[in-house]
Amino acid sequence: MADNDFPGWHGTTIIGVRKGGKVVIAGDGQVSLGQTVIKGTARKVRRISPGGYDVVAGFAGSTADAFTLLERLETKLEATPGQLQRASVELAKDWRTDKYLQKLEAMLIVSDGKDLYVITGAGDVLEPEHDVTAIGSGGNYALAAGRALMDTDKDAEEIARAAMAIAADICVYTNGNLTVETIQA
């Protein structure tokens, strides 16, 4: 099968919501190959504690690539304990300039409870304007739903769960098997 005929892996929606002094990162469990669901219970949101400081990270894209990036982020955080922004910028710089890392196909949403960032292979460390961010196949659906729910009485977790449910109803590469992690500043 030629590379351009390969159907490709799909299937992740990750959302980050900051509201009321806490951040929630939620991710679905679906991994698809073409039109086939390969796994419905993948865990794409993790809590890491390098240097004794908790950070929650969610990833979209190739799992092996994402784990490589999470390991690199942990290393950066161990070198700069409690400085998520600095560690994220250092990771993004490495990702952009290192020939090995440039080939990695994944994106991350990370938070220490205070800051919330999306880290990309293009060298971006993006902080959402409206305290909601999302990545992955159903990311735009979850982002739109999350932003619409921000002005309600719902807390961060309720918003994340409702936005993910909406994304799962719309995106065939997103399911309702959620992993949800909450972190406070």
Give the catalytic positions in this structure. Answer: 12
Cα–Cα distances (Å) from 118 to 6, 86, 96, 115, 139, in that order, read 28, 13, 14, 10, 12
96 close to 115: Cβ distance less than 8 angstroms:
no
Cβ 84 vs Cβ 110: under 8 Å: yes
For residue 119, what are the CA distances in angstroms to 1, 58, 60, 178?
32, 10, 11, 21
- Three-class DSSP category at 13: strand
Q: Which of 151, 152, 136 is nearest to 25 (CA)?
A: 136
Length in residues, the chain: 185
Supply the DSSP symbol for 50: G
> Amino acid letter at 168?
A
In this structure, the number of other CB atoms found within 10 A of the CB of residue 76 comes to 21
Residue 113 token pair? 């409870």
| Radius of gyration for the chain, computed over Cα atoms and rounded to the nearest angstrom | 16
